[in-house]
Structure 1
Amino acid sequence: MDNRLFFPATERNRECIGEVLSTILLTRGFILEIGSGSGEHGVVFQKNFPEITWQSSDPELIHRNSISSWIEHEELNFQMPQPLNIDVEKIPWEIPSELMVSLQGIISINMIHIASWNCTTSLFNESGKLLNNGKFLMLYGPFKIDNKHISHSNELFDSSLKMQNKSWGVRDLREVSKEAAKNGFIEEKLIRMPAYNFSVIYRKVSL
């Protein structure tokens, strides 16, 4: 059965996110994606970076079914593992031992603004435990800078998110980076992306 989902935002941003990933020295091992959604990002990045193993995850069964269908559709069954059922707030995450041993980085795309702040704190807390020094955590999405929106469209988007759920909203980068620092990460690079988004690369360092 074809359970593939198609997210327009994924189709728009996968190329530019891939360009950012290409600037990171990716060595053999696993990349863990938190909140993989439809799975469209995962299969594209697995094909673009065959030297790594892309491990997707999502708490929603409909999304995990979509990811599995995308893996089968792209004939990646022997390269790309099936998605994990990870709810970012339920810690510790249930991670296969082979992934933990060779985890090179964690990435979360368009998640923290459609989740409670507790999800952001859990993301950094668990990532800080799982990643060794020198490994990276990458976030992609809209952010406020110095607690100000960088565009009117982002301000309207923020309002619409809060109307759907008062715990959602575009996060202030300074607050996100403070949470990162608590868990042993430094903000290594901030990259402005199309459509008023950013990629933020954090690097794990010794506390």
Structure 2
Amino acid sequence: MENINQDNRLNFPATTRNRESIAAVLSNYISPNSLVLEIASGSGEHGVFFQKIFPSIIWQTSDPEFVHRKSINSWIKHEELFSKMPEPLDLDVEIRPWPITEQIKSLIKGIVCINMIHISPWTCTKALFEESKNYLDQNNFLILYGPFIRNKIQTSKSNLYFDQSLKLENPLWGLRHLEDVNNIAIRNGFKHEKTIEMPANNLSIVYRLN
């Protein structure tokens, strides 16, 4: 029988390295008294960090993996955020409609997706844009963070090696071409507003609905 007091927190080292730089980007877009939906929240370390950095909002985590949702709940408990931060949603981008209540939908002002699209099939990127447009308006944002390949800009050796290792692990994974992602965004009524250079050869990409 599982010990209900067991600490199920997972630690993803990349989170500690990138959370402050991502928070700096988010600070330019987050509005008070709103809700931000995070897709594929993983361990939950980003979620609790952003909830503490931005106390005036609600940070709504989500993840399709049960072990990740257990970790998220453990992090929320560890950081004593249960009074503010809701439990993670069991959300798989490809299973639609997403399990978003009308109350959550009315509060959403932004959607954030960190390090997902290169470790999931391309169909997940398509689903992300196709469904996100149902919960946002022109004043809201969709922000992607992670490594990308860009036309006319040389890809770093570390990202090329990373891309190769991902494809060896799963042929459906791999770094996405930013131009391909932008085309999917445009097809779903989004405009590519900004590309922000981030540490360690990553990018933050900001989209808004037209």
Residues 63, 87 of structure 1: CA spacing in aligned structure 2 closer, same or farther, 3 A cutoff? same
Give the aligned residue type for 2:164. Answer: S
Aligned pairs, how many? 205
Residue in structure 2 matching 1:96, options 101, 104, 118 = 101
Q: Does 2:112 match 1:107?
A: yes
- The TM-score with structure 2 as length reference comes to 0.95
Give the aligned residue type for 1:20. Answer: V
Q: Does 2:38 match 1:57?
A: no
Q: Deviations over 1:51-86 (max 9, x none)?
A: 110000000000000000000000000100000000
Residues 17, 10 of structure 1: CA spacing in aligned structure 2 closer, same or farther, 3 A cutoff? same
Q: Does 2:183 match 1:144?
A: no
SS at match of 1:11: helix
Alignment partner, residue 21 of structure 1: 26
- The TM-score with structure 1 as length reference comes to 0.96
Alignment partner, residue 9 of structure 2: 4
Instruction: After the TM superposition, list the runs of 4 or more consecutive aligned residues in structure 1 that deviate by more than 4 angstroms.
Output: none
CA distance in 2: counterparts of 1:147 and 1:41, whole angstroms = 32
Alignment partner, residue 77 of structure 2: 72
Are the counterparts in 2 of residues 58 and 64 from structure 1 also a CA contact under 8 Å?
yes
CA distance in 1: counterparts of 2:23 and 2:168, whole angstroms = 32
Alignment partner, residue 202 of structure 1: 207
SS at match of 1:130: coil
SS at match of 1:3: coil
User: Percent identity, aligned pairs only?
Assistant: 54
Q: Does 2:129 match 1:124?
A: yes
Alignment RMSD (CA, Å)? 1.1
CA distance in 1: counterparts of 2:181 and 2:173, whole angstroms = 14
Structure 2: stretches of 5+ with no match in the other structure: 1-5
CA distance in 2: counterparts of 1:11 and 1:149, whole angstroms = 27
